[in-house]
Amino acid sequence: MNPMLKKLMPVAIILMISIAIAFANSPSPASTQTVTAKADGELTIPKDYQSWPKYLSGIQRPDANPKQIREIYVNQIGYDTTQGHPFAEGTLFVMENYGVKLDATGNPVLDASGQLQKDKLLKTFVMGKVKDGGKSVDPALATGDWVYSAYLASGEKAPDPTTGCRGCHLSQKEKDWVYRYDEFFQKKGK
């Protein structure tokens, strides 16, 4: 082997290891995914959202029709938000709405702790914050820079309009139009 190559071999190995470590510690695409949709219905379901941090999990909604259990994920941009501040542009939430198990008479089946039990996925909702997002909506339904999309369990766009999303989130203006803001930060510990 060439003497010069022999001297450079350890340096090359160290350089390759350093590059591999840097890539291993770099943010995943999920944490750096950006929101480009400007209107409701334009957000797609991120393929890897289930690898994101949970915003909240196992949310019991016996008051919903149909009764539901919700799982909510948030991308890294949103997760890194500090309590008392609005979520940054680029924040994405994905909410899975599940039906609940019912007995033969149509009543919810509860587990040993009295909680609803998750059944089949009903819908998936995506909520994203983008500069000037949602500017084309009726001002009475404006929720800052947030845009919304809804999907059936099959992955097809839901036929119902996202005005329901907007109408529901209007009451959360003081919390950047995001439900359970305080609960998230309490569980997160920041």
Q: What is the pLDDT of residues 59-109, one digit of tens each?
A: 998 888 888 999 999 999 999 999 999 999 999 999 999 999 999 999 999
Which residues touch 178 (CB under 8 Å, ≥6 apart)?
87, 93, 169, 172
* Residues in a beta bridge with 110: 116
Q: What is the pTM of this model?
A: 0.79
Q: Where are the domains of the chain?
A: 30-188
CATH of the structural domain 30-188, one choice from 3.90.380.10, 3.40.50.280, 3.30.565.60, 3.50.70.20: 3.50.70.20
- 166 or 30, higher pLDDT: 166
Lowest mean pLDDT among 94-98, 157-161, 183-187: 157-161
pLDDT of residue 190: 53
Where residue 185 falls among pLDDT bands split at 50, 70, 90?
very high
CA–CA gap between residue 85 and residue 190 (Å, rounded): 12
Check whether 6 has a pLDDT greater than 90.
Answer: no
What is the CA 65 to chain-centroid distance, rounded? 22
pLDDT in tens, 96-125: 999 999 999 999 999 999 999 999 999 999
Residue 148 to residues 59, 73, 75, 91, 94: CA-CA distances in angstroms?
20, 15, 15, 12, 10
